[in-house]
A and B are shown apart, each in its own frame.
Chain A
């Protein structure tokens, strides 16, 4: 294990930024989001969570896929350049770190999404263990260890020191590049923190969330539960829950004429929106009940059914904090698991 004092951490960031593009949680306009490192960036490693998840780093909010040149009846296509430089995403929490492996199963499954694949290939994930989980956290329900997140490198902050340990070859390569600013260390402080945090995790209100109902019953039975109507009755269809979610993957494809040619973009979309499935003869999800049910059925039922039991949620709690009408996946799970007794 290696270490550096937190009050000298800019030396580490400068060392990384000298060799790679570095992204980390920075405060802008009062909100913390992943952004590029610079000498005057307001780095906020203490923030437990960014507003949007770290998926933006690999599956960006909006990206150009290709460009067309159109002249009369002639068309030519030019694929957009893919990310070809290494970059480091620093400070990814355990929930977001797990979300990458969930997104991998979508975007790296045959046929591979080459834009996502290029970012995954060139991106190095430096995760950060949680020392102060919140009431809305329930990553443990998905077998995530918040005290030792996935990632190429995992870091811990304890007693004013940042501890660093490479977990993959990519992580080891990055470690070599910044070795001069890191010192050898034992792991006593990390182990003490891990034990303390585990004790807190067990007592979190949502720690014992039981999702077995969703993997043990037929999808049609869960789909037909009458509780969906009440659960969705206040949903505004604003899509906030899908945009902050680290595992939501749905996207739209749109063309824009920028004056010099037509560009085809991909951008995040939301199954909570009315026009998401609109066709020439209407939509198959006519009311918000159907759209709301789709989001949660996808995460709790369709995902595990298609992917060996893996849920499409990592328990980050963002949708619990951000939904304007206070609806979320935990309420859905509890209500349906309890057969409707619980609201």
Chain B
């Protein structure tokens, strides 16, 4: 039985870099003790990170699969484990297992499409992996539009990368917005759902959206009013998870386990399931 992978037994990771993105989000770089990437993954897939004795939880792998050196996780401080992770220093070991979930269909349904990414707050984490993947294989995808909103300028995750890399690249249009006016901000002010209406979006886009449930709800309503179909919109779901492999029975939406059949769903697929999320 030695060749069977022990799915619940994690491998070790070492935190090699910590970046403070916002007052409550930090991005952690993780490699194995040998300095390798812990495993291969696809954009939108997740991993279980743990500190023994504190807890284990699921996080999106925010770095792109095309990064062969390390994985990154952008983590919002909101409880036992995430508080602990925010206190740690470079060199701290964590445990890691994965990859889990289906990921975005970058090799199939998204190929050749004009893509519109819509993110709110920490919701950028899973989308960042797709964006950087598509940038790497630039000729395989059409135009890229990114709408990203957060409470304030200081709450934009990965602001440096957005400004220095995404904003400067041809064929990528970045539309940033913050909730309220702020000194030093000359960009757009207002909520994401309203911003979507102002942008004069062409209807040929395939949309990937992630953020707070309330933002998703109103943005989706506006997109549909503009003429987008639910079959054009993908999102990634967040439910309580313990196993990550469809066995602990915790993360289901109807007959689907989000950890295994998701976390990425198209809205027409969600329409067939109970709206218990």
A74 within 8 Å of B by Cβ? yes
Which single residue of chain B is at the shortest CB-CB distance from A283? B240
Asked whether B276 lies within 8 Å of A285 as measured between CB atoms, the reply is yes
Bound-state Cα–Cα, A311 to B106, Å: 35
The interface-forming segment of A2-10, A12-20, A133-141, A297-305 is A297-305
> Please, which residues of chain A bring their CB within 8 A of the CB of B9?
65-66, 77, 79
> Please, which residues of chain B bring their CB within 8 A of the CB of A284?
239, 276-277
Bound-state Cα–Cα, A269 to B5, Å: 24
A213 within 8 Å of B by Cβ? no
Asked whether B6 lies within 8 Å of A79 as measured between CB atoms, the reply is yes
Which single residue of chain B is at the shortest CB-CB distance from A270? B249
Given contacts A111-B245, A250-B249, A276-B240, contact A73 B10 (CB under 8 A): no
Set B11, B53, B245, B276: member contacting A68, Cβ < 8 A: B53
Asked whether B12 lies within 8 Å of A75 as measured between CB atoms, the reply is yes
B164 within 8 Å of A by Cβ? no
Set B11, B12, B242, B254: member contacting A302, Cβ < 8 A: B254
Chain A residues within 8 Å of chain B by Cβ, number: 53
B72 within 8 Å of A by Cβ? no
Bound-state Cα–Cα, A66 to B7, Å: 12
Residue with the greatest number of chain A CB neighbours at <10 A, chosen from B52, B89, B94:
B52
> Please, which residues of chain A bring their CB within 8 A of the CB of B1?
114, 117-118
The interface-forming segment of A21-29, A90-98, A192-200, A251-259 is A251-259
Which single residue of chain A is at the shortest CB-CB distance from B274? A223
A264 within 8 Å of B by Cβ? yes
B54 within 8 Å of A by Cβ? yes
A64 shortest CB reach to chain B, Å: 12
Asked whether B249 lies within 8 Å of A249 as measured between CB atoms, the reply is yes
Asked whether A302 lies within 8 Å of B276 as measured between CB atoms, the reply is no
A227 shortest CB reach to chain B, Å: 15
Set B8, B55, B248, B272: member contacting A65, Cβ < 8 A: B8
Set B5, B52, B249: member contacting A75, Cβ < 8 A: B52
Contact with A along B240-277 (1 / 0, CB 8 A): 10110111111110110000000000000000111011
**Total number of A-B contacts with CB less than 8 angstroms?**
122
Set A111, A249, A278: member contacting B7, Cβ < 8 A: A111
Asked whether B255 lies within 8 Å of A252 as measured between CB atoms, the reply is no
Asked whether A77 lies within 8 Å of B10 as measured between CB atoms, the reply is yes
> Please, which residues of chain A bring their CB within 8 A of the CB of B22?
none
Asked whether A70 lies within 8 Å of B52 as measured between CB atoms, the reply is yes
> Please, which residues of chain A bring their CB within 8 A of the CB of B277?
284
Bound-state Cα–Cα, A124 to B277, Å: 42
Contact with A along B217-244 (1 / 0, CB 8 A): 0000000000000000000001110110
Which single residue of chain A is at the shortest CB-CB distance from B12? A75
> Please, which residues of chain B bring their CB within 8 A of the CB of A73?
89, 91-93
Bound-state Cα–Cα, A39 to B31, Å: 55
Set A75, A111, A223, A266: member contacting B95, Cβ < 8 A: A75
Chain B residues within 8 Å of chain A by Cβ, number: 44
Query: Which A270-324 residues sit within 8 Å CB-CB of chain B?
Result: 271, 276-281, 283-285, 290, 294, 297-298, 301-302, 305-306
> Please, which residues of chain B bring their CB within 8 A of the CB of A257?
53
B254 shortest CB reach to chain A, Å: 5
Which single residue of chain B is at the shortest CB-CB distance from A109? B246
> Please, which residues of chain B bring their CB within 8 A of the CB of A68?
52-53, 95
Bound-state Cα–Cα, A76 to B251, Å: 29
Bound-state Cα–Cα, A141 to B247, Å: 26
Bound-state Cα–Cα, A113 to B242, Å: 14
> Please, which residues of chain A bring their CB within 8 A of the CB of B242?
251-253
Set A70, A74, A249, A264: member contacting B247, Cβ < 8 A: A249
> Please, which residues of chain A bring their CB within 8 A of the CB of B240?
276-279, 283
> Please, which residues of chain A bring their CB within 8 A of the CB of B243?
251, 253
B78 within 8 Å of A by Cβ? yes
A107 within 8 Å of B by Cβ? yes
A219 within 8 Å of B by Cβ? yes
Asked whether B254 lies within 8 Å of A107 as measured between CB atoms, the reply is no
Contact with A along B62-90 (1 / 0, CB 8 A): 00000000000000001100100000010
B145 within 8 Å of A by Cβ? no
Asked whether A111 lies within 8 Å of B5 as measured between CB atoms, the reply is yes
> Please, which residues of chain B bring their CB within 8 A of the CB of A70?
52-53
Bound-state Cα–Cα, A147 to B243, Å: 38
> Please, which residues of chain A bring their CB within 8 A of the CB of B248?
250-253, 269
> Please, which residues of chain A bring their CB within 8 A of the CB of B53?
68, 70, 255, 257, 262
Further pairs besides A75-B95, A255-B53, A277-B251: 15, Cβ < 8 Å: A73-B91, A73-B93, A77-B10, A79-B9, A107-B247, A111-B7, A118-B1, A220-B272, A250-B248, A251-B247, A255-B55, A277-B240, A279-B238, A283-B240, A302-B254
Contacts A/B (CB < 8 Å), 5 sampled:
A75-B93, A106-B246, A219-B274, A223-B254, A264-B52
The chain A residues found within 8 Å of chain B, CB to CB, are: 65-66, 68, 70, 73-77, 79, 106-107, 109, 111-114, 117-118, 218-220, 223-224, 249-253, 255, 257, 262, 264, 266, 269, 271, 276-281, 283-285, 290, 294, 297-298, 301-302, 305-306
Lowest 7 A-B CB distances belong to which pairs?
Answer: A250-B249, A68-B52, A280-B78, A302-B255, A75-B93, A111-B7, A262-B53
